[in-house]
């Protein structure tokens, strides 16, 4: 939810960014090989798709954020393909080991599917599974669809970790089906404390509880660096930094 006036400033920031790029550069940004760094490539893609917006947004936590991320706006084949390449590059850099991709309903389903297609393009054929929100009582029944999880090292593929509730549910589903959670990959880590009086982010808390890595394609710190390097986003950096100071985790490696 955004306050009045957010849309106007968001549109202005997005327009400034898009105006700095020629049509040729915009086309090349959808190319997986266009930029060497997956963080910069992802943030460029998110701005193009308007999945990353700037303004004043009231989050579910009640905090007022100067930016908002909605992975649902990567809503074309080209956008999802380019996004999946960013996920794969982040995972390859992190060295996370896994042999099955799991997409929690709902946004995790297309993300895991796109990532499986990207790995197949790279020569690695990975099985994919996902869950239903409600168990099916007819047909094949159950709450799981896709490859069996039993005996597999399972990577959870999602967009963000907000409170961690949905991720914890996904980890329980995986364990109950005989799988072993091997890691979690998300698009954007906001790097902010989960609540008042807490020192960890939701992603850090889940990683510590489950004893598995959480890999992010990009973080708020990456977004700050990206804004530093972009004249079109200069007006947003001070607001991003103020938010980081107020709500950010003190030790990002904790």
CATH of the domain at 45: 3.40.50.2020
For 96, the token pair is: 């996370």
Q: At what angle do helices 77-94 and 108-121 cross, to 10 degrees?
A: 70
Alpha carbons 102 and 170: distance in angstroms, whole number: 8
34: its two tokens: 């266009």
The model's pLDDT over 86-135, given as tens digits with 9 standing for 90+, comes to: 999 999 999 999 999 999 999 999 999 999 999 999 999 999 999 987 76
The answer to whether the predicted template modeling score (pTM) of the entire model surpasses 0.75 is yes
- The residue ranges of the chain whose pLDDT is under 70 are 1-36, 135-141, 251-254
The whole-angstrom separation of Cα 141 and Cα 127 is: 20
Please tell me the predicted confidence (pLDDT) of residue 36: 54
> In a 3-state reduction of DSSP, which class is residue 165?
helix
Q: Considering the domain boundaries, does residue 116 fall inside one? A: yes
The domain containing residue 88 runs over which residues? 6-247
Does 52 map to a domain?
A: yes
d(CA 115, CA 128): 9
Tell me what pLDDT residue 127 has: 98
- pLDDT tens for 88-97 read 999 999 999 9
Residue 65 and residue 52: Cα distance in Å, rounded? Answer: 12
Residue 35 lies in a domain: yes
Please report whether residue 75 resides in a domain: yes
**Among 60, 133, 138, 253, the one annotated catalytic:** 138
pLDDT computed for residue 23 by the predictor: 44
Annotated active-site residue 38? The verdict is no
Is residue 254 assigned to a domain? no
CB 56 within 8 A of CB 64: yes
The predicted pLDDT at position 15 comes to 52
What are the Cα distances from residue 187, in Å, to 20, 22, 158, 252? 24, 26, 7, 16
Chain mean position to CA 63: 20
Give the pair of three-digit tokens for residue 12. Answer: 């202005």
Measured from the Cβ of residue 45, the count of other Cβ atoms closer than 10 Å reads 24
Residue 58: predicted pLDDT: 95
Residue 84 lies in a domain: yes
- 107 flagged as catalytic: no
| pLDDT for the residue 214 | 98
What is the per-residue pLDDT for 194?
Answer: 84
Instruction: Decide if 239 is inside a domain.
Output: yes
Using DSSP's 3-state secondary structure scheme, residue 116 falls into: helix
The verdict on residue 197 lying in a domain is yes
Number of domains in the chain: 1
């Amino acid at each position: 939810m955004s306050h009045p006036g957010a849309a106007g400033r968001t549109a202005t920031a997005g327009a400034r960014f898009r105006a700095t790029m020629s049509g040729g550069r915009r086309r090349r940004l959808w190319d997986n090989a266009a930029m060497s760094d997956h963080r910069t490539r992802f943030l460029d893609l998110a701005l193009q798709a308007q999945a990353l917006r700037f303004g004043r947004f009231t989050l579910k936590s009640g905090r007022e954020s100067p930016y908002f991320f909605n992975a649902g706006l990567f809503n074309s084949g080209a956008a999802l393909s380019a996004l999946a390449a960013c996920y794969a590059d982040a995972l390859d850099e992190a060295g996370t080991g896994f042999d099955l991709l799991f997409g929690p309903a709902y946004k995790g389903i297309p993300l895991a599917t796109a990532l499986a297609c990207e790995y197949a393009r790279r020569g690695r054929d990975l099985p994919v599974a996902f869950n239903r929100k409600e168990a099916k009582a007819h047909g094949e029944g159950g709450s799981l669809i896709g490859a069996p999880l039993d005996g597999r090292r399972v990577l959870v593929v999602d967009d963000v970790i907000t409170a961690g509730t949905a991720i914890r549910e996904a980890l329980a589903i995986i364990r109950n089906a005989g799988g072993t959670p091997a890691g979690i990959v998300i698009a954007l880590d906001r790097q902010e404390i989960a609540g008042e009086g807490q020192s960890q982010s939701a992603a850090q808390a889940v990683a510590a509880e489950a004893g598995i890595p959480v890999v992010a394609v990009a973080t708020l710190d990456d977004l700050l660096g990206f804004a530093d390097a972009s004249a079109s986003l200069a007006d947003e950096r001070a607001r991003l930094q103020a938010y980081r100071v107020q709500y950010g985790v003190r030790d990002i490696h904790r």
